Structure 1
């Protein structure tokens, strides 16, 4: 059965995988929609520049958009707010199961999240609902993901505040420890004595209010979102 949606309702798929994007585009076109696919060429700025030249409609947005020409990771979450500001509705269609990132996209105004590995009929039903202005996911589930995002954001802010107590060199030492380097290797890296590095490590533990290097490294990684 075809979707009862106006063919004037534009659906734009933003996904770095051409096979996935074009396959979904053709499926939507077979349902009577005006659908197009856009890859990650030009990075975030290029994507937004192209999108702003189009009549707004519904975006199916992947959160993991690969890398730009400079090798930097492209995060679809950063596109949600600008897309909405440009008049688009955003449906997150992503293989990512990171509750914090999904919650961040929803907090920025995305309508809902649909797993990319959902069966095609389920994907089409979700697009139909979003295009018609109907809920795509339960409000309770949506709010739960948004709450998770806010909780994690608050926790990371508190961790970063503790890390801000460290000097620049102490942060560099902690970063080296987080990469698995031992104190001796850190001393050689910064051309200082082992005793100096051990003194810096003790200062790090005191300032972060932890009792071991493992705890300090774990705190550093949580604050970095790793």
Structure 2
């Protein structure tokens, strides 16, 4: 039995959360499931503690009632600040997001597909303050997160430089529209649209419409 209790399970899939709780209770832990209505409500429900409890935190928490994405990695910092230890649960989660959780203070991350014994071992290490992720691997993942954040910042700056019309034209290009069709939509000449497309390419630092569209999709995915 561990002296650090309870163990909180924060997962937006009730079946997964209840299964984890059942397994952990069978292993002698006081596991409790916490509902995930929104990020602020999760943090408020946990509240501060002077006992180093552990939170098993899913990094992919879906969306709240307003349609806003709940980013588990962003909850690590507030949970740690409230005095709890965090062991992240990953499910097809990119290494940069695992790195973000580690950078915010998570002890480690365990894939949901891992054997239950692996989770228990990681949980024991977290409870006792032992490393869950080897230091070299931890640094690699955090660097992936930092590189991802730098890339996102560069893309944000490039797209912020586009005018409203340039953004609209880029969206149309990404939807498969060609310059003549775009010109018809805006009732302007094809030459005018081609000039605006050149402006898009220059501001994004690319040489072709294909590259611009690829960067557009990348910008939408790098969040």
TM-score by length of 2: 0.88
Aligned-residue offset at 1:83: 0.9
Could you list the runs of 5+ residues in structure 2 that have no partner in the other structure? none
2:63 is aligned to 67
1:197 is aligned to 193
Give, in whole Å, the separation in 2 of the partners of 1:184 and 1:73: 38
1:87 is aligned to 83
Give, in whole Å, the separation in 1 of the partners of 2:24 and 2:182: 55
2:172 aligned with 1:176: yes
For the Cα contact (< 8 Å) 1:183–1:194, is it kept in 2? no
2:20 aligned with 1:5: no
For the Cα contact (< 8 Å) 1:157–1:223, is it kept in 2? no
For the Cα contact (< 8 Å) 2:60–2:93, is it kept in 1? no
TM-score by length of 1: 0.87
2:149 aligned with 1:150: no
Which one of the candidate residues 122, 132, 136 is aligned to 1:136?
132
2:52 aligned with 1:46: no
Query: Cα 1:185–1:125, aligned 2, differ >3 Å: closer, same or farther?
Result: farther
For the Cα contact (< 8 Å) 1:156–1:223, is it kept in 2? yes
For the Cα contact (< 8 Å) 1:14–1:61, is it kept in 2? yes
2:207 is aligned to 211
Query: Cα 1:193–1:45, aligned 2, differ >3 Å: closer, same or farther?
Result: same
Once the two structures are superposed, what CA deviation does each residue of 1:89-142 show, in whole Å capped at 9, x if it has no partner? Answer: 111112133011111111111111111110111111111111111111111111
Aligned-residue offset at 1:206: 1.9
2:101 aligned with 1:105: yes
Query: Cα 1:221–1:122, aligned 2, differ >3 Å: closer, same or farther?
Result: same
Could you list the runs of 5+ residues in structure 1 that have no partner in the other structure? none
Number of residues paired by the alignment?
A: 220
Root mean square deviation, CA, Å: 2.1
2:57 aligned with 1:57: no
Aligned-residue offset at 1:223: 3.1
Once the two structures are superposed, what CA deviation does each residue of 1:63-99 show, in whole Å capped at 9, x if it has no partner? Answer: 1112211223221112111111111111111213301
For the Cα contact (< 8 Å) 2:5–2:54, is it kept in 1? yes
Aligned-residue offset at 1:56: 5.5
Give, in whole Å, the separation in 2 of the partners of 1:149 and 1:179: 30
Query: Cα 1:129–1:188, aligned 2, differ >3 Å: closer, same or farther?
Result: farther
For the Cα contact (< 8 Å) 2:59–2:93, is it kept in 1? no
Give, in whole Å, the separation in 1 of the partners of 2:175 and 2:103: 32
Give, in whole Å, the separation in 2 of the partners of 1:180 and 1:106: 40
